[in-house]
Amino acid sequence: MDHKMIVYIWDMDETLILLKSLINGTYAKCFNGLKDVQRGTEIGRTWENFILDISDQSFFYEEIEDYNQPFLDALKHYDDGRDLSDYNFSMDEFRPLPDDVNRRKLAYRHRLVAQKYKKGLRSILGHNKTISWENLYEETDLFTDKWHSSARDCLEQCAGTSSQHVNLLVTSGTLIPSLVKCLLFQLDDLISYENVYSSWEVGKLQCFTWIKERFSGQDIQFCVIGDGWEECEAAQSLKWPFVQVDPQPGSPHRFPGLNVSTLGHYLAVIYDQTKKETDETASHNSSNNL
């Protein structure tokens, strides 16, 4: 039985979700007139407004936008564990000052964001907004030929029935809107808040390095899936398999289409080759010692 843990590292935009390509029309234009470019743009703009509204109203984004962290627990050591049930965030005089007092106030906000993420959007949105969100998701999935629900299915396949395998998100976007995107696109039960990283300031290689340190061990394998050059270069520098997402119709590396079997092929190619090289080196060293 294979007991290896596989860490799947996903990009967000134009990989798990479509947003920019809806807004600028490039997604619809790939279909040579078969899709309504203007309608795609309207759908994308509606998502954009949803994301910013929820980020500002429920996740402190307007207040902490300029103080992005690479992950929610980055300032956890400043959090003294205070009960926040009666804490008045609007009156705590949070200021953009790099001192321990304000770092603690930022850590409080991150803790509340984590709690809200775990509860899900339905605990935040009212009835009417929930209906609007669900309808928008269904319309978007129909317009994109089930890109988003297929991406979700792929995440479920990757996690499988084994608690060993894990999905992580490393996005070039800022942290709070990225968490909100996970909620809105129904990925929050498959990617926990602890597994969402923002490479906005630090870069993807740094995030990948942190992940490698976090998941250390001989029986760990990593696989990176995305559409950009930065995650490609970062994966190559660590000798991890990289799967390039291609949104062109007919490509096997898009949704629907991309699945755990395809990812397994990339994993096998890289890690079987690495094992072969390791075995050859060990054999060579053993011969030299005779």
Predicted confidence at residue 164, as pLDDT, reads 83
Predicted confidence at residue 161, as pLDDT, reads 64
Residue 79 falls in the annotated catalytic set? no
> CA dist 17 to 75, 151, 185, 229, 281, Å?
28, 8, 7, 18, 42
Neighbour tally for 142: CB within 10 Å: 11
Q: Using alpha carbons only, what angle is made at residue 20 by residues 30 and 254, rounded to the nearest 5 degrees?
A: 50
* 219 among annotated binding-site residues: no
What are the sequence ranges of the domains in the chain? 5-288
Report the alpha-carbon distance of residue 18 to residue 14 in Å, rounded.
Answer: 5
Report the alpha-carbon distance of residue 64 to residue 95 in Å, rounded.
Answer: 9
Predicted confidence at residue 284, as pLDDT, reads 46
Neighbour tally for 92: CB within 10 Å: 14
Residue 1's pLDDT band (cuts 50, 70, 90):
very low
Per-residue pLDDT tens digits for 25-44: 999 999 999 999 999 999 99
From 11, 56, 73, 79, the catalytic residue: 11
Give the mean pLDDT of 184-204.
98
* The residue type at 148: H
Residue 77's pLDDT band (cuts 50, 70, 90):
very high
Report the alpha-carbon distance of residue 59 to residue 64 in Å, rounded.
Answer: 9
**Strand pairing class (220-226; 242-244):** parallel
Per-residue pLDDT tens digits for 90-132: 999 999 888 999 999 999 999 999 999 999 999 999 999 999 9
The CATH number of domain 5-288, selected from 3.40.605.10, 3.90.1150.10, 3.40.50.12350, 3.20.20.80: 3.40.50.12350
Q: Does 207 score more than 70 pLDDT?
A: yes
Q: Is 253 helix (H, G, I), strand (E, B) or coil?
A: coil
* 83 among annotated binding-site residues: no
* 95 burial via Cβ count (<10 Å: 0-12, 13-18, 19+): exposed
Which pTM does this prediction carry? 0.93
Q: Which residue has the higher pLDDT, 62 or 287?
A: 62
Phi, psi of 212 (to 5 degrees): -60, -40
Predicted confidence at residue 192, as pLDDT, reads 98
Residue 80 falls in the annotated catalytic set? no
pLDDT averaged over the chain? 93
* 227 among annotated binding-site residues: yes
Predicted confidence at residue 287, as pLDDT, reads 47
